[in-house]
Structure 1
């Protein structure tokens, strides 16, 4: 089954890209990502899509350490309940524990391990096999953790050590300037290390009861995700396959490693069908594409997997009551 991530978390990546003067809408368009889904707190995308966003950003940004700029882009809303549970945690040790337990709310493409010694507390990042382990993404994760710790502990917070599996860039000054602690490249694992005394210090924003409420939200979300993830996975795969023009339950099932009968049964359990999801995806994408004056009706028809403009026009009229030419004129 394809691993996913919360669509809202990609806002951080896009904000980072925009900080370099690059229009993130162009990247979304190229990768065929519907921007409306990024505002849906329940939407999830294939984990590979997040790697695609970062890889595409790397082709436009010349700074090899651009991932570190994520420290300026993090906001708790990008992580939903996990972000706010983090802020209301009693201390950093509790916050890191929550992050480890509920990280699947944000991403399934990685998992985390906590290691304790009398002096230090480490959060270790492990990528799953689906991840490309892009160095600048790992740099971005470490920068995000720094931003999160500072949100709880104060701007003066600095980690004890940073360990990165990737090799050192030619210029490491950006790492030294940001983390202000030893940074070890070519390490055996990726780990964010803090002093235990800092981990146990009470956070100014500590609200244990509120944190527990967020915990309950995440527990319920994960349970719901396990039941309904199939719908988002099918929708994401339909979007990916639409320009090929021959999307079927068989082709989508093959991509998700599910046979036809199992796919139909699991969708039925969610009170939907493949045909319904295909129609919903096309309708949602059409509403976005039709507003893009750079796309002709022929191009929109192709992107939505229709064989010709006539088929697209009939579908669009069925969805909206009016033909697309009513808004666009004849292309």
Structure 2
């Protein structure tokens, strides 16, 4: 199961600059803090979508934005998950690795089916209450073909491409993919010539894969071992300032019913209410450690309707007032 935490590779921002888009303009257009441009920045799915939509708005035409960026990424700036696909043995190995390692980060999943002379790759989205920007759908499918072209050194073409939304200048997409483009489809799919999957990669690097594969596989195992309670608490911390928090909304984000979530939390000897209290307590200490935030603002950021409710809760947690706790924290640091 995926958590709603996405780290942009540094190559993304460099790619934007190569197509003439200033990353600062994207952040401003998306109405997000400039801290998202930092190398270690982690964003939520909603923020991730806003960034892609901002890029699309700035570039103008969706199709042109897709092709420009798909071809602008330099292989030297691929993150480890993509490097492990670029240096695969052949195109099939690369695609299977891509589907496997997608689970480590972005909110999309790849479903690959080989049948007859066709290989169909369908995109599925997690945490997708927010509408997925068409430019992100397009670039994800375009990059799968770009990967095959770069790895094999051949000008591979697709059999067909289907998009569920309008994609701008379809002629641009047709020229890039080398096949018919269909919009308004029931799903987003890239269909390849199955015979192309057997093509060896010129970029195959056995030694590098022997280093990368165990590290990435271990990360997958660690992600799978994260408890439901940890994920719930992370979602709560991220959503506190939004006000009303209920188990149904969190369960939906985790892709399960509220009853299932309650059962899973009971199995881990905790409750939604306990996790909400812990999330507020931990974030309260974090916010109070920042002297630029006044107490009233901290109460708001924690989702309290009034300052007095926050005061009562904090006294129960720490046996002291927020202002006294802050004073002692500052004195001791």
Both proteins in one fold, TM over 0.5 = yes
Aligned mate of 2:170, from 169, 172, 185: 172
Describe the superposition over 1:280-304 as per-residue Cα deviations: whole angstroms up to 9, x where unpaired: 54566788995xxxx9997676445
Q: Which runs of 5+ in 2 are unaligned?
A: 312-320
Alignment CA distance shift 1:251-1:128 (3 Å): closer
**Aligned residue in 2 for 1:143:** 142
Distance 1:91 1:287, change over 3 A: farther
1:153-191 deviation per Cα after TM superposition (whole angstroms, max 9, x unaligned): 34x533233412335556323323433x01321355433
What is aligned with 2:69? 70
1:4 is the counterpart of 2:6: no
Determine whether 1:113 maps to 2:115: no
TM superposition shift of 1:141? 0.9
Question: 130, 152, 157: which is aligned to 2:128?
Answer: 130
Residue 202 of structure 2 corresponds to residue 204 of structure 1: yes
| Distance in 2 of aligned mates of 1:137 and 1:289 | 39
Are the equivalent residues in 2 in contact too, given 1:112–1:124 (CA < 8 A)? Answer: yes
Structure 2 residue 185 is matched with structure 1 residue 183: no
Residue in 1 that maps onto 2:25:
23
**Alignment deviations for residues 79-132 of structure 1 (CA, whole Å, 9 cap, x no partner):** 8542222122111111112222343123454341232434x5442323458363
**Paired residue for 2:155?**
157
**Per-residue deviation, 1:238:** 2.1
Determine the structure 2 residue equivalent to 1:100.
99
Q: Distance in 1 between matches of 2:322 and 2:51?
A: 29
Number of residues paired by the alignment? Answer: 308
Contact 1:90 1:206 in 2 (8 A): yes
CA offsets per residue over residues 31-77 of structure 1, 9 Å max, x none? x897499727xx6x654553344345556654333344431464679
CA apart distance, 1:241 = 2.6
With 142-151 and 257-266 compared, the bigger mean Cα shift is at: 257-266
| Paired residues for 1:295-314 under 5 Å | 302-303=300-301, 305=303, 307=306
Secondary structure of 2:7's partner? helix
What root-mean-square deviation, in Å, do the aligned CA atoms of Structure 1 and Structure 2 show? 4.8
User: Matched residues in 1 for 2:143 and 2:250: separation?
Assistant: 34
Structure 1 residue ranges without an equivalent (≥5): 324-331
Query: Residues 17 and 162 of structure 1: is their aligned pair in 2 closer, same or farther, counting only changes over 3 Å?
Result: farther
Does the 8 A contact of 2:161 with 2:181 survive in 1?
A: yes
Q: Distance in 1 between matches of 2:60 and 2:287?
A: 32
Q: Secondary structure at the match of 2:157?
A: coil
- Are the equivalent residues in 2 in contact too, given 1:20–1:61 (CA < 8 A)? yes
The 1:170/1:56 distance shift into structure 2, 3 A limit, reads: closer
Preserved contact between residue 6 and residue 44 of structure 2 (Cα < 8 Å): no
C-alpha offsets along residues 172-217 of structure 1, whole Å, 9 cap, x if unaligned?
23323433x0132135543334444543232222123543553333
Q: 1:206 to 1:312 in 2, by over 3 A?
A: farther
More displaced, 279-288 or 91-100?
279-288
CA distance 1:12–1:6, shift in 2 (3 Å): farther
Distance 2:156 2:39 in 1: 31
8 Å contact from structure 2 (residues 158, 191) kept in 1: yes
Change (3 A) 1:17 1:209: closer
| Deviating more after overlay: 234-243 vs 45-54 | 45-54
1:234 to partner: Cα distance? 2.2
Aligned-pair distance for 1:264?
A: 7.4
TM-score (norm: length of structure 2): 0.66
